[in-house]
Chain A
Amino acid sequence: MTYPVARDLAAGPRYRLEALEAFYDSFRAASIDFAVFLPDSLLDGLEQLILERGEIECFQCAREDEGVAMAMGAYLVGRRPLVMMEGSGIGLSALILARGIVQRTPTLLVASHSNTLGECFDYHAATRVVAEPVLRALNIPYYVLFDPTQIRTVVIEAQRTVEGQKVPVAILVPPHVIRAA
């Protein structure tokens, strides 16, 4: 399947291609080898890029909590997983994330539409409200990635924390980081 978003900017939202590449290169540098996602508008370009390149095994789930569980299953069998989703998906995933903490079965999370600046749609209000309180409640380390120049450092250090502390770690991505103005 071709990758319509990066190659054909008229086909959908416009993305900062350098940011997509920075995320992708960082995932590779962090040895991420298994990705799960539920499509969302902001991260779609990144998800499609991973699918197109084919170097990181990538699967689409039907619900975010299912995707987190799939990633945990991959971690159990020796993989280094990543889950990409909207912030609302973190709200949906509270129980399985809690299980991952207790069971020492972590995954890296990258989520959009969190409680950061730049959300212009009222109908995303619940989406943006839920993610950070759930992360705080579960004591999951997270970082709001405001500065695109930090992508590589944040991804690599987040994955280092996942592996060293065996806890889920979330990177929250505001729209301006990945979407072109």
Chain B
Amino acid sequence: MNRIDVLDILCDLRQDAALIISPGLSNYTIAAHGDLPLTIYNMDMPYATPIALGAALGWPARRIVSVEGDGSLLAGPSVLATIARYRPYNLIVLVFDNGAYLTTGSGRAPTATAWGADIEQLGRAFGLKQCCTVREIGDAREALVRAFQKPGPWLIVAKVDPTDRQARQSAQLPVDVFESGLRFRRTVLAQRALEQDQGSRSRS
């Protein structure tokens, strides 16, 4: 299974969900699908999931997705315990596990998962209930559809091959880090104001 194929499914399902993306090739694939303002690209390792957790707790009405790598998540796995503690139902953590630090140098340095570390079991050990590992694209689609339809938090570990390193897309992202935070928050404030307005109209 290839990471790009899984990301195609994620982007098709995404709709208005916010995405926080850890460093790596996923950023370029997602940007190529269409740059949406509720996206933070290349969040420094290992903070994609903690940022997504804070966003999910702070905005329960909106689905928040953390797009992780195995190397990034293993740099800060304690966040899984915090997720298990507070169980934000609107949070999805999607971890691409290719067993390597693929975007680093030669891409041949293995992560701990190449030596047996199991991220799904790590999530379960921390207390997460809805965890799965997917190896086939059909299973990945099924897991993502379920995660977008049913309350989470979800931990989906997608075992992918490293072939997308060769298929690397443009190294340019549509926004700089400096812009992305401002754009994200302004968009949220506008959308929350709209939600509040619609809520007050429906009550009156």
Using CB atoms and an 8 Å cutoff, list the residues of chain A in contact with chain B.
Answer: 34, 36, 57, 59-63, 65-67, 69-79, 81, 95-96, 99, 102-105, 166
A75 to B54, alpha carbons, bound, how many Å? 8
- In the complex, the answer to whether A62 meets B82 with C-beta atoms within 8 Å is yes
User: Does chain A have a CB within 8 A of B50?
Assistant: yes
0/1 per residue, B39-80, Cβ < 8 Å to A?
Answer: 010011001001111111111001010000000000010110
> Which residues of B have CB within 8 Å of A74?
54-55, 57-58
Our pick among A61, A73, A103 for the contact of B52 (Cβ within 8 Å) is: A73
Size of the chain B interface, CB-CB below 8 angstroms:
35
User: Does chain A have a CB within 8 A of B20?
Assistant: yes
User: Does chain A have a CB within 8 A of B151?
Assistant: no
Least CB distance, B35 to chain A, in whole angstroms = 16
A65 to B76, alpha carbons, bound, how many Å? 10
A69 to B75, alpha carbons, bound, how many Å? 14
> Which residues of B have CB within 8 Å of A104?
178, 181-182
A143 to B57, alpha carbons, bound, how many Å? 29
Least CB distance, B154 to chain A, in whole angstroms = 17
- In the complex, the answer to whether A77 meets B79 with C-beta atoms within 8 Å is no
- In the complex, the answer to whether B43 meets A99 with C-beta atoms within 8 Å is yes
A6 to B189, alpha carbons, bound, how many Å? 37
> Which residues of B have CB within 8 Å of A78?
58-59, 185, 188-189, 192
> Which residues of B have CB within 8 Å of A36?
54
- In the complex, the answer to whether A76 meets B82 with C-beta atoms within 8 Å is no
The residue on A at minimum CB distance from B180 is: A103
Least CB distance, A172 to chain B, in whole angstroms = 23
A81 to B43, alpha carbons, bound, how many Å? 19
> Which residues of A have CB within 8 Å of B177?
99, 102-103
> Which residues of B have CB within 8 Å of A95?
44, 47
Least CB distance, B202 to chain A, in whole angstroms = 21
Q: How many A-B residue pairs have CB under 8 A?
A: 110
A23 to B62, alpha carbons, bound, how many Å? 31
Using CB atoms and an 8 Å cutoff, list the residues of chain B in contact with chain A.
Answer: 18, 20, 40, 43-44, 47, 50-59, 62, 64, 76, 78-79, 81-82, 85-86, 177-178, 180-182, 184-185, 188-189, 192
> Which residues of B have CB within 8 Å of A67?
50
Given contacts A103-B177, A104-B181, A104-B182, contact A69 B189 (CB under 8 A): no
Least CB distance, B79 to chain A, in whole angstroms = 5
**The 6 residue pairs across chains A and B that have the minimum distance between CB atoms:** A73-B54, A70-B54, A69-B50, A74-B58, A103-B181, A62-B78
Provide 12 A-B residue pairs closer than 8 Å at the C-beta atoms, listed in order of the A residue: A36-B54, A59-B86, A70-B50, A70-B57, A72-B54, A73-B54, A75-B54, A77-B188, A78-B188, A102-B177, A103-B181, A104-B182
A64 to B43, alpha carbons, bound, how many Å? 17
- In the complex, the answer to whether A77 meets B55 with C-beta atoms within 8 Å is yes
A70 to B182, alpha carbons, bound, how many Å? 17
A129 to B178, alpha carbons, bound, how many Å? 30
> Which residues of B have CB within 8 Å of A34?
54, 57-58
**Known pairs A73-B54, A104-B181, A104-B182 / 16 extra A-B pairs, C-beta < 8 Å:** A59-B82, A63-B78, A69-B53, A73-B51, A73-B55, A73-B57, A73-B64, A74-B57, A75-B54, A76-B40, A76-B58, A81-B54, A96-B44, A99-B43, A103-B178, A104-B178
